Chains A and B, each alone.
Chain A
Amino acid sequence: MQMRTLEIGVGALILAGVISLVTLAINVSGLSLTDRAGGYTIYARFENIGGLTERAKVSLSGVQIGEVSAIRIDSRMLMADVEMRIFSEVDYLSIDSSAQILTAGLLGEKYIGITPGFEEETLKEGSRIEDTQSALVLEELIGKFLFNKVSE
């Protein structure tokens, strides 16, 4: 009888542990059970990525459609080469889409916004977005503004 209460207590503890792990996984870290490891990779070159990091969002009209999987330097063009993983269900991005680096809020995180184009042909595994717009770097902007003020 004594052993039974102990076993119930231990069972409750382990159950609480499992529930906590699931809560941490789903509610706190937002781990999605649907497999989004699939999808296809596209590339884009930017002149300045200004604080974009790996795992940053890639969004279309504000909805996340993928994430940044790698950032390298293109040693030939001397530009940042950003590799993005796009969810496989988003297979309708036309080949002349453009990519911009945007900021969420004034001081928020950087993310990539895709603006769709008009071509029939769509982006495939390994395609490259040619039309890109770099991040807005606050210091450069202020510098330009001051320079214009002085030259007036």
Chain B
Amino acid sequence: MIDQLQRIGRGALDRLAATGRSGQMLLQSLFVPPAPKEMLPLLIKQLHFVGVLSLVIILVSGLFIGMVLGLQGYTILVDYGSEQAVGQMVALSLVRELAPVVTALLFAGRAGSAVTAEIGLMKATEQLASYEMIGVDPMRRIIAPRLWAGFISLPILTMIFAVVGIWGGSLVAVDWLGIYSGSFWANMQASVDFSTDVLNGIVKSLVFGFVVIWISVFQGYDAIPTSEGISKATTRTVVYSSLAVLGLDFILTAMMFGEI
């Protein structure tokens, strides 16, 4: 009984300590004196790894999700004789919800887990410690570029996802199912508002990008430096990021569209 109580307490304290360490890592790596000359190449390398290499999965899933939305929307809306509203449905659901959330989930799986494994392995092979030994701050050289790269690239990927998805939806609805393209686009433009829909979607993706890359980098940085520890950390990255994205999505949606 007492043992169980102790276990609960220790678990809670461990979580709390980890949260504190992650905040400390974030502050130490974000608020470093900027040195564009040496940091920019590192950032570009990470942007390529985190952003450009995630492009293929984002393009393919965006296209298919848009096509499925077009098809499903059509089969439902045609019963009510309002199949012109497919454009509106595809665009609103993509821009507001699906693009930020699905991109963040894919990003956590594709880029976040890789970042965790990389940093975890660096720690296990004592590369981080050797950087410190030769007087290079690992926060600055390893952690900060990855954080910034994730934070910058996720909103870009989200916008690309939304555009490709809407194009996929129009491909199915207009070219395949024969909805008049004028009403498809006019309905969409009449109902999608730039500031409430598009900008809020981008704000969502900024928040998700921050959270996902923070979790990924911290799990790698905080991993137990064994092969088992790294595998656990990678799993935790995907699980925690997905849960955080889905939970935050509800809160953000409630704040943006729920008028709470």
Contact = CB atoms under 8 A, between A and B. Distances in A.
Interface size for chain B: under 10, 10 to 19, 20 to 34, or 35 or more residues?
20 to 34
Q: Is the interface of A mostly helix, strand, loop or mixed?
A: helix
A30 B192 contact: yes
Contact of A28 (B52, B153, B156, B166): B166
Interface of A: 3, 6-7, 9-10, 12-14, 16-17, 19-21, 23-25, 27-31, 55, 57, 105, 107
A102 to B, nearest CB: 15
B159 A21 contact: yes
Interface in B161-188: 162-163, 166, 185, 188
A9 B55 CA distance: 10
A6 B45 contact: yes
B198 A9 contact: no
Contacts of B189: 27-30
Contacts of B45: 3, 6
Contact of A3 (B41, B80, B82, B159): B41
A3 B44 contact: yes
A19 B163 CA distance: 9
Contacts of B194: 24-25, 29, 31
A53 B148 CA distance: 41
B244 to A, nearest CB: 23
15 contacts: A3-B45, A9-B48, A13-B55, A16-B55, A16-B160, A17-B159, A20-B160, A20-B162, A27-B185, A28-B188, A28-B198, A29-B189, A30-B189, A55-B193, A107-B82
B1 interface: no
A57 B187 CA distance: 13
Contacts of A28: 91, 95, 162-163, 166, 188-189, 192, 198
